[in-house]
Amino acid sequence: MVERFNGRIASEVLGINVAGHADLEILLTGFNRAYNRRRQRVLQGASPSQKVDERIQRKPALANPLYKPAAQDDLMAKVDDVLYYANDVSQPDSSPDRIRIVRCLDHIKMIIA
């Protein structure tokens, strides 16, 4: 399951350019919550959350008494905001002309300093 989850993150989340660490945390938390509620064929059509609930009901000793679920506090609205503003984050530009211009500007700044 971990490999499947990591593969999904690589294909669905890491391609999104976000403005910073806090936005990435929001995006990953939202993805994690959505992934755990998505039904999986490998779990015979159940979601990971359903399987955990079933196992804890069968064997309550598995439950961590210190576990506190993350607060809902409009997580999906925050995820929507991050995704909306991700379009505004500048994309990496690796064209040869752009690289040459940046190197020239860096050289000029070094000479002036």
Rounded (5°) CA angle 11-9-39: 100
Specify the pLDDT at position 56.
94
Angle among Cα 36, 9, 93 to the nearest 5 degrees reads: 150
Q: HSE (CB half, 13 Å, CA atoms) of 105?
A: 6
pLDDT at 112: 47
Residue 53 has a pLDDT of 93
Predicted local confidence at residue 55, as pLDDT: 94
pLDDT, tens digit (0-9, with 9 covering 90-100), for 74-100: 787 888 888 777 766 555 555 555 555
Query: Secondary structure of the chain in the HEC alphabet?
Result: CHHHHHHHHHHHCCCCCCCCHHHHHHHHHHHHHHHHHCCCHHHCCCCHHHHHHHHHHHCHHHCCCCCCCCCCCCHHHHHHHHHHHHCCCCCCCCCHHHHHHHHHHHHHHHHHC
Domain ranges of the chain: 2-112
Q: For residue 58, with 0-12 CB atoms within 10 Å meaning exposed, 13-18 middle and 19 or more buried, which class applies?
A: exposed
Reported as a single tens digit per residue, the pLDDT across 17-61 is 777 888 888 888 888 888 888 898 989 999 999 999 999 999 999
| Least trusted range by pLDDT, from 4-8, 26-30, 37-41, 105-109 | 105-109
